Structure 1
Amino acid sequence: MAKMNIIILITIYLMSLIFTAGSTPPEDPIKCTINNTMNCTITNSYGAFPDRRVCRAAEAAYPKTEAELVSIIAAATKQTRRMKAATRFAHSIPKLSCPEGDGGLLISTKYLNRTLAVDAAGMTMTVESGVSLRQVIEEAAKAGLALPYAPYWWGLTVGGLMGTGAHGSSLWGVGSSVHDHVIRIRIVTPATEKEGYATIRTLEQGDSDIKAARVSLGVLGVISQVTFKLEPLFKRSISFVEKNDSDLGDEALRFGFQHEFADIKWFPSQRKVLYRVDDRVSTNASGDGLFDFIGFRARTSLLLAVIRSTEEAQELIGDANGKCASEVVTTTATKVAAYGLTNNGIIFTGYPVIGYQNRMQSSGSCLNSLEDGLITACPWDPRVKGLFFHQTTFSISLTKVKSFIEDVQKLVNLEPKSLCVLGLYDGILMRYVKASTAYLGKQEDSIDFDITYYRSKDPLAPRLYEDILEEIEQMAVFKYGALPHWGKNRNVAFQGVIGKYKSAGEFLKVKQKFDPLGLFSSEWSDQILGLKTGISIVKDGCGLEGLCICSQDAHCAPNKGYFCRAGKVYKDAKVCVKIN
């Protein structure tokens, strides 16, 4: 009977993929009550920052040209007003777009969305900072060019990519970080009265200051234009190969050097690994494949509500068996659906899937369909009852990866069902990232571990196996010195982070040079840059949401049986453990 129920659930899941055609695009993250420009709030695309606090601003501005952007920043500088750039998609989880104080100014790049120049012979493209990754990919392809590496989600803007160091997966060439393929940046910064209170700085390849702007955290000013160095359009061949995880520690070190676009999905409780065998092939190779990743497709709001309600019920009663059954359903269904790959844009007929780079590197079809009144939506759209989650994402040096993987495997051996909670969120995504010259870029060749998992709507409600993921988080950050992804993560991952960057001092010098009054700084950016304390928000229940590392039982949920205790494998960890 249980097997029959799983088959039925897989069938329903697959049917939902086939027949979902529309999608309601996400809302603008900025909401203003007066003339659509004053008395504003801003959030991210998930509807909640890590601390769940509402970010308020006095005003929002929507420049349509670089000249308008200069004028807006000049006026605000003259008033010594705090400012922050904001994007139309707002996919950064931390509060990078939240200005200091309620009187701040939000500068949206929504209408700075033009492709300015494409040089096919020189293989460069210049765009405004509000251009989406999807636009970059499509415009490059029209000219027979390609951005070689990119994040898998195309709903990011160029400015957002530069702000957070977003990347794909590769150890080849100069690596998978998009900012390392940028050769020119125009950025508008505050200036003196003599300079008209704002200035445009043009940073070229080879300039020392470009190393700061490539991963800017939004604290240097507002990037107005970016020039990419591209490559001739090429084809890729993708196959997924499933194996046991017994030798993952060794295999992970080899795999990234064997395949240019390699990545790994790890399902620790199933002891299963999915290897992405992904390489360039000749443009003469037959195939017109398309990768429309399942996790980025629209879902019917009804199905999303059923999935979320099931997840909430399992959490409420501590149903680990139900979590593991759900993981089997999800991973089996996505395998049957070839993870979103089709050989011709319509159906999957078998591996390898071969197609042009612009059809294979990124996706996000839930962003691009016609409005349908929320009958369908992106799975995380906060306007519907859908996915609501934490993301813990960090990069560990290749020299330490094997030991980290083995420590996680030890945890799973102690609690075999503990990481079934990752099944609904596509397991642990492992991407390869190369060391960067950017001051706040990756310091060493690394593997980025991307872990997405359930978050309760109630900040004081503990999760099933709360302690295991907390221990993994603390183990990575403190035992293995992991670097957190700047655009993801809970507060814990940023503790002491700036001390892990050897050129942090050089970044701060550029910040002082570009914005001496700190008008583009905020409490959050000062905290992660080590200029202020307060990353840890210590209060009752703070350990449950990663706002603090628990040091007393009140930081967990003692009334629900969760107490602050040492980790099981990493004994220095302090985690919220359920004690029966």
Structure 2
Amino acid sequence: MAIMLHSKEGMFRQGFFGLKCMFILICLVDCSPPEDPIKCSSKNADCTITNSYGAFPDRSICRAADVAYPTTEEDLISIVANATMTKRKMKVATRFSHSIPKLVCPDGQDGLLISTKYLNRVLKIDASTMMITVQSGVTLRQVINEAAKAGLALPYTPYWWGLTVGGLLGTGAHGSSLWGKGSSVHEYVVGLRMVSPGGPQDGYAKVRVLDSSHIDLNAAKVSLGVLGVVSQITLRLQPLFKRSVTFLMKNDSDLADEAVSFGNQHEFADVTWYPSQRKAVYRMDDRISSNVSANGQNDFMGFRWQTSLTLALVRAAEENQESTGNAEGKCIDSKLTTSTLTANAYGYTNNGVAFTGYPIIGYHNRLQASGSCLDTVEDARITACPWDPRVKSQFFHQTTFSIGLSKAKSFIKDVQKLVESEPKAMCGVELNNGILMRYVKGSGAYLGKEEDALDFDINIL
């Protein structure tokens, strides 16, 4: 039996249990913005860097001798040349540092961090050619907003807008779609400028200028930062359009079959799976005519600020359940999360103010991504983004892996067998909104997906 998600039942995209949900509903003021992941004891020297969660998987401390903050490509050339000439190791860092692995560590305490924090300008947007050129430290949100002003859109993106363009390209970040070129942002790169180490004949640095006809573009656009520092990116855009979004809840008995075909039925499809509850939520999301009158908006609750007190209470309850092995408590709280957050449509509204029912229709730029906890002023950490390590906030193990569509059915069935043998074992996953399944198309990029696949995103307490 299928259930249309409305004010009575549903799912939350980055789940928190009921107490947190209730506090979210009354949050109406600004919060402390995330701090810079780079900290130095003496101006820009003797530095450490972490990610946005405040900890790498191995809990190690990543150190660097100093950090440089270029503002132009000329600055970047000088920095790379000097470091190359003195044989120093370099790593690129971004403003928010959302990669969980230690990709930013320069390996040792004598390395150099090159931050793209101030390489943050939109250089050109051309409505006639439908292209935008930006510096690599520009955020996804900037691209979305500037494109929309010109009547254009980047068609597929991750759901969180606090990523830099250079960072999301380097790590192969994506949204969810099997249509067209697929959901990976790097598929829309038509030009790229990269500063790489060079020999004495190059002045110890060289600028690689790559366009869509260059054989090296497929290597450079997803490179984990090992080929050089990207200074500029040019992206191909599309005319701005509207979307219609409806979330449909179903029993997961046929999920193994449905998941394989669902991505071809809707352009922006994804599936959120709650194995212990034996439910799955299907995102039916497609382009529609821009003549349809509606102005929906996505302000996803998991990306809003919360009070530090709320975060501490939630964290304490989660730690208590974990230390006492209280699986039943986790299951109860995960169901409460499901029902409470869905009553508010995960933060989606039909008009920017209130949720009145499905479908939610709005322009692509208002629905494709969110992250309002970044729109904040300092308030002495009375409030914070839900994962801010400066307060007692969310802390979990995040695992993401891809499985080819041809094998996804078998994997889903295996997980269902595990749930049958131990029904409460997956409730901890559901406290953090279950398993998000996003569709990713095979790519020609050397470090892209080799085939059409499902990405499984799992956050485990």
Q: Is the CA contact 1:436–1:443 (under 8 Å) kept in the aligned structure 2?
A: yes
Question: Secondary structure, in 3 states, of the residue corresponding to 2:256?
Answer: helix
**What runs of 5+ residues in structure 2 fail to find an aligned partner?**
1-16
**Aligned to 2:379, which of 372, 377, 388?**
372
- Matched with 2:211 is 204
Q: Is the CA contact 2:89–2:111 (under 8 Å) kept in the aligned structure 1?
A: yes
Q: Quick one: distance in 2 between partners of 1:103 and 1:13? A: 45
Q: Is the CA contact 1:162–1:213 (under 8 Å) kept in the aligned structure 2?
A: no
Considering Cα pairs closer than 8 Å and 6+ residues apart, tell me whether 1 or 2 has the greater RCO.
2
Q: Quote the offset at 1:14 in angstroms.
A: 3.2
- Matched with 2:36 is 28
Q: Quick one: distance in 1 between partners of 2:121 and 2:20? A: 41
Q: Is the CA contact 2:23–2:310 (under 8 Å) kept in the aligned structure 1?
A: no
Alignment of 1:128-147 (within 5 A): 128-147=135-154
Q: Quote the offset at 1:15 in angstroms.
A: 4.5
Q: Quote the offset at 1:194 in angstroms.
A: 1.3
Query: 1:112 aligned to 2:93?
Result: no
- Matched with 1:385 is 392
- Matched with 1:296 is 303
Q: Quick one: distance in 1 between partners of 2:422 and 2:301? A: 29
- 1:483-528 CA-to-partner distances (Å, cap 9, x unmatched) read xxxxxxxxxxxxxxxxxxxxxxxxxxxxxxxxxxxxxxxxxxxxxx
- Matched with 2:9 is none
Alignment of 1:132-211 (within 5 A): 132-211=139-218
Q: Quick one: distance in 1 between partners of 2:138 and 2:227? A: 19
Query: 1:97 aligned to 2:107?
Result: no
- 1:408-450 CA-to-partner distances (Å, cap 9, x unmatched) read 0000001100010012211100000000000000000001000
- Matched with 1:230 is 237
Q: Is the CA contact 1:20–1:299 (under 8 Å) kept in the aligned structure 2?
A: no
Q: Quick one: distance in 1 between partners of 2:203 and 2:142? A: 33
Query: 1:328 aligned to 2:335?
Result: yes
Q: Is the CA contact 1:20–1:298 (under 8 Å) kept in the aligned structure 2?
A: no
Q: Quick one: distance in 1 between partners of 2:378 and 2:258? A: 44
Q: Quick one: distance in 2 between partners of 1:413 and 1:300? A: 38
Question: Secondary structure, in 3 states, of the residue corresponding to 2:253?
Answer: coil
Q: Quick one: distance in 2 between partners of 1:178 and 1:340? A: 24
Alignment of 1:173-572 (within 5 A): 173-454=180-461
Cα distance change on mapping 1:68 and 1:41 into 2, 3 Å: same
As a proportion of its length, which structure holds more helix?
A: 1
- Which amino acid in 1 is paired with 2:30? G
Q: Quote the offset at 1:16 in angstroms.
A: 2.6
Q: Quick one: distance in 2 between partners of 1:11 and 1:407? A: 33
Q: Quote the offset at 1:89 in angstroms.
A: 0.5
Q: Is the CA contact 2:307–2:384 (under 8 Å) kept in the aligned structure 1?
A: yes
Q: Is the CA contact 2:442–2:452 (under 8 Å) kept in the aligned structure 1?
A: yes
Question: Secondary structure, in 3 states, of the residue corresponding to 1:69?
Answer: helix
- 1:142-199 CA-to-partner distances (Å, cap 9, x unmatched) read 0000000000000100110111000000000000000011010100000111111111
Q: Quick one: distance in 1 between partners of 2:20 and 2:314? A: 12
- 1:206-230 CA-to-partner distances (Å, cap 9, x unmatched) read 2111111111111001000000000
- Which amino acid in 2 is paired with 1:123? M
Q: Quote the offset at 1:10 in angstroms.
A: 4.3
TM-score, normalised to structure 1, is: 0.76
Q: Quick one: distance in 2 between partners of 1:18 and 1:282? A: 35
Where in structure 1 do 4 or more consecutive aligned residues deviate above 3 Å?
Answer: 9-12
**What runs of 5+ residues in structure 1 fail to find an aligned partner?**
1-8, 455-580
Q: Is the CA contact 1:17–1:299 (under 8 Å) kept in the aligned structure 2?
A: no
- Which amino acid in 1 is paired with 2:34? P
* Aligned-residue identity in percent: 64
Aligned residues: 445
- Matched with 2:25 is 17
- Matched with 2:8 is none
Q: Quote the offset at 1:339 in angstroms.
A: 1.2
Q: Quick one: distance in 2 between partners of 1:373 and 1:205? A: 47
Q: Quick one: distance in 2 between partners of 1:305 and 1:427? A: 22
- 1:519-549 CA-to-partner distances (Å, cap 9, x unmatched) read xxxxxxxxxxxxxxxxxxxxxxxxxxxxxxx
Aligned-pair Cα RMSD in Å: 1.0
- 1:369-399 CA-to-partner distances (Å, cap 9, x unmatched) read 2221111111110001010111110111000
TM-score, normalised to structure 2, is: 0.95
Q: Quote the offset at 1:273 in angstroms.
A: 0.5
Query: 1:51 aligned to 2:58?
Result: yes
Q: Is the CA contact 2:18–2:333 (under 8 Å) kept in the aligned structure 1?
A: no
